[in-house]
Amino acid sequence: NFAHGEVFMAGAMTGFIASDKFSANGLWESNFLLSLVIVIVLAIMVSTFTAVLMERVAYRPLRESPRLIPLITSIGVSFFIQ
């Protein structure tokens, strides 16, 4: 699956944006451990949601198709997520 990197990057970008917002609000400095746990859980949730959605929409309908079709779909999903 060529889109695995994009799934992880969606989680990483979510974590980065959330930590940036926490830092702007002062929550990052005041309660670092709680902020870190929230950021990590949020990143995991976004990555999981993206992966499950991608599997249900793009890959599950193609289970019985020839091998080349899911490969092309994987490249297309990768471009779509980017």
Task: Give the model confidence (pLDDT) of 28-54 as tens digits.
Answer: 888 899 999 999 999 999 999 999 999
Binned at pLDDT 50, 70 and 90, residue 67 comes out as confident
Question: pLDDT at position 21, please?
Answer: 92
**Cα 59–chain centre separation:** 16
Using CA atoms, how far apart are residues 2 and 26, in angstroms rounded to an integer? Answer: 38
Tokens representing 2 are 């060529």
How many domains does the chain contain in total? 1
Using CA atoms, how far apart are residues 75 and 67, in angstroms rounded to an integer? Answer: 13
Q: What DSSP designation does 66 have?
A: -
**Which pTM does this prediction carry?**
0.83
Structural domain of 19? 4-81
Average pLDDT in the chain: 91
Binned at pLDDT 50, 70 and 90, residue 16 comes out as very high
